[in-house]
Every structure is written in structure tokens, then in C-alpha cells.
Structure 1
Amino acid sequence: MSKPIRFVLPLVFFLGLTFFLFQGLFSDPRERDAQTLEKPMPAFSLPDLMDPTTLHTESVFLGEVTLLNVWGVWCVTCKVELPYLTSLRKEGKRIVGLYYDQDLDPDFGTKTLQRVQQEVLSTTDSLGDPFVFNIFDVYRDTSLDLGVTGAPETLLIDQNGIIRVHHIGDVNPRVWEQKFAKLYNELVTNTQNGVKD
């Protein structure tokens, strides 16, 4: 290998690595292109958290504009957003929970379904219950299909079951106004007028 090539290759590698790392300094980890945006909800069949004999499928998102909130009682930020989400529900927003529990993972130990239900009821009784119902994502398969990296995350799903927004982090008044409100209201109006997007 000639001397110029031995000098140029490490320099090119160093500059490429520097550019990659430099981009990371100015990016917001909560802002990313979700792989599921503008795509239909993935197929699933999962039990209702409070009534495991009831199975929910992706069809629960057809016909109504819905916020799908991924959460768990173990998540501190989820608890912080519950009162605001509850106020949105009181305004007529349809919010469905996608619940998963770390303690059901073998790496974290085990917990009975009854205990999970008690913890959820205790949390929602004290902080607010924004959910029409909670889908129990027992093995987190649906969360993974949605590209969820943690909790809380909230998706706006239109009346045709298409994912329109994927927000990482809590939903608060600022986030609602900046990311959700305008599109949510447009979708609801379209649904009421029978317009298909």
C-alpha cells in the first residue's frame, strides 16, 4: 500500500465518524421517523387487561380517531402524563392504553395478572384514568411491531386504522398543541363528515 493511501484512508474514516457523531449532538432523540407512520396498525390479537376473556384486534381502531398510549405503572413519566391525558378524555378524546409490565419479563421476575390489575387500578384511581380500555401487550410483540422503544409513547391513529403521529415521551399541553391538536381535530371533522383520507 502506498504512503498516500495509508494516510488518506484513516483520514476519510475519521472525518466520516466525526460527521456521524456531530449530527447526534444536534438531534432530538424524541424526534425520529417511525417506521410505521402512514401505515396501518399491525395485526394483533391481545387480551383486555381487566377482562382477559375479551380479545382486541387492530379492528378496534376502525371508525374512530384514537390516541394509543403505551404505558406501564412502573414508568414514572407515564404517571406524570395521566392527569393531562384524563383531561383530554373528558374533552371527548378517545384514548386506548397499550399496557405492558416489566415484571412479567423473566429478566425482572414474575407477577400475577391479578397483581398487575390491582396496581393499574390503584394508579388510575389516584392519578386519573384516561383509557376507554387497556390492551395487554403481554410479551410486547405489538409494541415492537409499532417501533416502540419505551414508555410513554403515544400514537395518533385515524379512523381508517392508519398511524398518523408517533410521539416519544409524555403528552402535555405543549406537545398536544404542537404535535396532535390540529391533525386530531381535522381527522375527527373528516370522520363526522364521512370523508376518507
Structure 2
Amino acid sequence: MRKLMFYVPLVLFLTLALFLLSGLFSNPMERESVTTNKPLPAFSLPDLMQPAQRWQPEQLRGETFLLNVWGTWCPTCNAELSYMTELKQQGVKIIGLYYVLPVDPLLGESFDLTMLQADVSNKLQQRGNPYQFNILDADRSLSLDLGVSGAPETFIVDSNGIVREHHIGDINPQVWRNKLAPLYQKWRQQDGSQ
């Protein structure tokens, strides 16, 4: 019985230590996505700049594109805008999913669409506008359904509306060249064969 009292805590300690040690050497940018190889979740969300226009997954089909989750409040998002604008000029289709920070009415905060539109317009004029259009995810429902943990995050969506890749972090020349461009080109080539 004494040996058992000694070994049980030791085994529990070693198990916990191995679990924590594995986390030390894992890359948080390479976590498994819940949406990869699944259709875009169902949604009906307004266009950020033209709220009367609503977007649904069916309207986005037909061509492979990048769905970029971003916000003007996000410094990394702002840094990637100019490079993504270059990608747009090279023919890469990019759709923005604007990730709205939560507002707290108890603190006197309220969502102001007009102010947000002006802020987005100013930011895109300063840094470049890589987007075909921006979907407004005011309550972050689509972001949550996609498994977004913050911004920026980018999804490669094929012409059938299937999410093929989920990248956490910014898009820069190295990430594009080494990770995203080969996958994007693969799915673009398949667009032509359909």
C-alpha cells in the first residue's frame, strides 16, 4: 500500500510534466483547425461599407479566395495590408471579414457603424486596400464558427466554398511564399479544371 501511495502521485506528476513539456515545443500558429476541409459555416452578414448588401456562402463560390479576418484596431493586421494589396494586384482574390471588438454598454460603449466605416476607409487609404469587399461580423458569429481566436487569421476557401487552410498570424512574403502560395495555387488550378 505504501508503494502505491508513492507511485500514484509520481505517475500523475510525470504525466502532467510530459503534457506541459509538449506544449512548450508546440507552435501555436500551427494548431489544428476545426473548419479545414469543411464548407464555410452558414451565415448572412452585411457588407461593411454597403450594409444593405448581405453576403452568404453561396455568393462566394466559383473562385478560390482568401478570407482574411482583420480589424483596424489590430497592429499586425495593419502591417499586412500593404503586402496583401500587392497580392491583390497579382490577381489573388481577398475578402475581408471585419472582426469587431466587443462593446460594453455598461461602460457607455456602443457600436457606431458610421464611425467604423470612416475608420476603415482611412486605414485602407493609408495602408492599401487588398479586399474585394469586407463582410461585417459585428457579433463575431462567423468568426466563432470558423474557430477564430483573434486577428489576423486567414482562410483559403476553394471554389466550392470548402475551407482548405487556416493560417493564424500575418501574411508576409515568407509566409506567402513558403506556406500559403503553394496551397492557393493548387486550389486555383483546380478551379480551371472544373
Please state how far the C-alpha of 1:52 moved relative to its aligned partner: 0.7
SS of residue matched to 1:44: coil
Please state how far the C-alpha of 1:82 moved relative to its aligned partner: 0.3
Query: Once the two structures are superposed, what CA deviation does each residue of 1:108-129 show, in whole Å capped at 9, x if it has no partner?
Result: 7223100000000000000000
Aligned to 2:82: 83
Please state how far the C-alpha of 1:191 moved relative to its aligned partner: 1.0
Amino acid at match of 2:164: R
> Which range is displaced more, 178-187 or 146-155?
178-187
8 Å CA contact 2:83–2:171 kept in 1: the answer is: yes
Rounded Cα–Cα distance in structure 2 between residues aligned with 1:34 and 1:81: 22
Question: Gapped runs of 5+ residues in structure 2?
Answer: none
Aligned to 1:120: 120
Per the alignment, do residues 72 and 106 of structure 1 end up closer, same or farther by CA in structure 2, a change over 3 Å counting?
Answer: farther
Please state how far the C-alpha of 1:61 moved relative to its aligned partner: 2.6
**TM-score between both structures, scaled by the size of structure 2:** 0.96
Amino acid at match of 2:16: L
Identity across the alignment (%): 48
Question: Gapped runs of 5+ residues in structure 1?
Answer: none
Aligned to 1:182: 182
Per the alignment, do residues 36 and 105 of structure 1 end up closer, same or farther by CA in structure 2, a change over 3 Å counting?
Answer: farther
Rounded Cα–Cα distance in structure 1 between residues aligned with 2:168 and 2:106: 24
Aligned to 2:149: 149
8 Å CA contact 1:42–1:142 kept in 2: the answer is: yes
Counterpart mapping for 1:42-191 below 5 A = 42-102=41-101, 104=103, 106=105, 109-191=109-191
Per the alignment, do residues 23 and 116 of structure 1 end up closer, same or farther by CA in structure 2, a change over 3 Å counting?
Answer: same
Please state how far the C-alpha of 1:105 moved relative to its aligned partner: 5.2
